[in-house]
């Protein structure tokens, strides 16, 4: 009898310990999802930028702070972000079967730290598939209110530019805790997750083909997705979200396009309709606004969609399209946002606009353009006057040179413009406006 009682007591003790462990793990997971309210974040921190009084420098300065990076590094495709300390985060993409890397830059020390790569993180998480590649971190790197950095990695193997074939290995959505040095895998996607945006709680990712929109709730850990729609192999390089949890995504449709014909050959003769679709935090569609100046006439398939953006101090967002036309989004917590045209960034009209920065968070923007047959130019744009003024810009003579990057500024107000130089290696410029 005593032996039986002892066994029962032992079982009860083990059950109690197991229950306590489960409760502890659940509580730990809940704590990891809770927003960090102990240190209120400014609107600029939540938007991943800096707002300060604008004092023009005598001459804008471009400083090349590029590093050797790692063997196989090929470019930084606009994958920048900042944390609340003002450190700059970069997604350095690889070539061949070289994995992308997550890199941190400390402006105060002028030092770089490599925080690893997605393939190694997949192996550590036990979800790596033999032969899997993740050569790009193309998205922005966003710090949310929970203190984690959110971004996506992706593959390009076997994808078809006409939108008929997804990349073989798809994508992975990650979060990274700078204080712990820990990668956490959130979900996988068959699409190529090329863009990430978020302010505060809800973070969004945009996948190709078809503009598939993923939403991740950083408080609950829930992920959901919908298909916004895009045809002809088009993918916007960016999307934007506001402080209310609303997100804005282009929907691209060719009317009269015969899917049986070669898309690139026929799309230029069809009617292209682009709408900026606003969804709320429940992924309910609120409105659609036409984007007239979205693609180069005659070459809609080559458009990069939303190519630049800046967050202002009052919560409004200015974004630029492939052809250099600026639009402004004024969010509302009572319903749909107001979307209005600002005009051309370049005084002469159409130009590729790969970068845009808020100078004072209110009235002035700095934007880079590239017109056909000409080099890169820097403009200061006055939102109130809707006029731009050219600024002297001296960029090292790296040929060919591709530049990207928006919104990301350090605590000294310097912007970070990234890309690829000489057609083979990454470049990062630290820009003093």
User: Above 50 in pLDDT, residue 22?
Assistant: no
Which residues fall within 8 angstroms of residue 7, CB to CB, at 6 or more apart?
none
Q: Token digits for 57?
A: 């420098």
pLDDT value of residue 261: 57
pLDDT digits (tens, 9 = 90+) for 45-94: 999 999 999 988 778 889 999 998 899 999 999 999 999 999 999 999 99
> Does 25 score more than 60 pLDDT?
no
pLDDT computed for residue 24 by the predictor: 44
Residue 27 is predicted with a pLDDT of 47
What is the per-residue pLDDT for 271? 77
Banded pLDDT at 21 (limits 50, 70, 90): very low
Over range 235-246, report the average pLDDT. Answer: 97
Give 249-259 pLDDT, tens digit per residue: 999 998 765 55
DSSP letters along 247-277, please?
A: EEEEEEEEET--TTS-HHHHGGGSEEEEEEE
Distance CA 248, CA 302 (A): 21
Note the pTM of the prediction, 2 decimals.
Answer: 0.90
Summarised one tens digit per residue, pLDDT across range 296-312 is 876 666 899 999 999 99
Percent of the chain with pLDDT over 90: 77
* Mean pLDDT value of segment 2-21: 50
Q: Where are the beta strands (DSSP E) in 178-305?
A: 182-189, 192-198, 202-208, 212-217, 223-227, 240-241, 247-255, 271-279, 285-290
pLDDT tens digits, one per residue of 88-118: 999 999 998 999 999 999 999 999 999 999 9
Please, are residues 380 and 388 in contact by the beta-carbon 8 Å criterion?
yes
């Amino acid at each position: 009898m005593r032996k039986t009682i002892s066994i029962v007591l032992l079982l009860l003790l083990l059950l109690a310990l197991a229950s306590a462990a489960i409760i502890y793990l659940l509580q730990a997971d809940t704590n990891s999802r809770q927003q960090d309210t102990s240190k209120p974040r400014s609107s600029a921190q939540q938007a991943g930028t800096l707002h300060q009084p604008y004092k023009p420098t005598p001459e804008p300065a471009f400083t090349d702070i590029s590093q050797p990076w790692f063997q196989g590094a090929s470019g930084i495709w606009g994958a920048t972000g900042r944390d609340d300390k003002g450190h700059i985060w970069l997604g350095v993409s690889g070539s061949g079967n070289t994995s992308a890397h997550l890199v941190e830059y400390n402006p105060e020390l002028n030092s770089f730290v490599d925080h690893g790569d997605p393939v190694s993180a997949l192996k550590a998480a036990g979800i790596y598939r033999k032969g899997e590649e993740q050569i790009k971190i193309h998205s922005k790197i966003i710090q949310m209110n929970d203190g984690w950095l959110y971004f996506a990695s992706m593959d390009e193997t076997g994808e078809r530019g006409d939108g008929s074939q997804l990349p073989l290995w798809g994508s992975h959505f990650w979060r990274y805790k700078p204080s712990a040095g820990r990668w956490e895998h959130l979900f996988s996607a068959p699409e190529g997750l090329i863009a990430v945006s978020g302010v505060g709680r809800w973070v969004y990712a945009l996948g190709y083909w078809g503009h598939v929109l993923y939403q991740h709730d950083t408080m609950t850990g829930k992920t959901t997705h919908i298909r916004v729609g895009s045809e002809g192999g088009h993918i916007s390089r960016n999307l934007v979200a506001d402080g209310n949890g609303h997100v804005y995504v282009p929907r691209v449709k060719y009317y009269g396009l015969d899917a049986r014909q070669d898309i690139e050959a026929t799309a230029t003769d069809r009617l292209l309709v682009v709408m900026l679709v606003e969804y709320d935090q429940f992924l309910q569609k609120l409105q659609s606004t036409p984007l007239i100046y979205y693609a180069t006439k005659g070459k809609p398939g080559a458009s990069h969609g939303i190519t630049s953006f800046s967050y202002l101090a009052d919560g409004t967002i200015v974004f630029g399209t492939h052809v250099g036309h600026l639009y402004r989004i004024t969010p509302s917590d009572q319903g749909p946002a107001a979307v209005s045209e600002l005009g051309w960034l370049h005084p002469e009209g159409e130009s590729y606009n790969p970068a845009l920065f808020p100078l004072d968070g209110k009235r002035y923007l700095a934007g880079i353009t590239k017109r056909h047959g000409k080099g890169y130019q820097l403009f200061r744009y006055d939102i109130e006057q809707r006029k731009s003024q050219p600024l002297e810009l001296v960029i090292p003579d790296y040929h060919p040179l591709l530049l990207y990057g928006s919104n990301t500024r350090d605590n000294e107000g310097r912007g970070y413009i990234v890309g690829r130089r000489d057609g083979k290696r990454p470049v990062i410029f630290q820009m003093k406006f």
